[in-house]
Structure 1
Amino acid sequence: MRILIAEDDTAIAAGVAATLRHGGHAVDTVEDGARADTALHDAPYDMLVLDLGLPRMDGADVLQRLRGRGGEMPVLVITAREGLRERVRVLDLGADDYLVKPFALDEFNARVRALLRRMASKGVPELRIGRLRVDLPGHRAWIDEEALDLTAREFGVLAALAMRVGRLTSRAQLVESLCSWDQELTDNGLDIAIHRLRRKLRGCGTGVRTIRGLGYMLEEEACG
Structure 2
Amino acid sequence: MARRTTAYRRVAQELRDQIGDGTLKPNDRIPSLTELQEAFGVSDTVILEARKVLVAEGLLIARTGDGTYVRERPEPQRLVHHAPDDLEEPLFRLEAAESGLFPDIVEVEAETTVPAPAAVARWLDVKTSRKVKRRVRLFRHDEMPVQLLTVYTLASGKTDASGVEEQVTSRPALDTEARVLEGVVGQPVTVATRIERPAAGRARVLETVVLAERYTLVYRPASGPA
Tell me the TM-score range normalised by the shorter chain. under 0.3
Task: Give the structure-1-normalised TM-score.
Answer: 0.21
Greater strand proportion:
2
Greater helix proportion:
1
The structure number with the bigger radius of gyration is 2
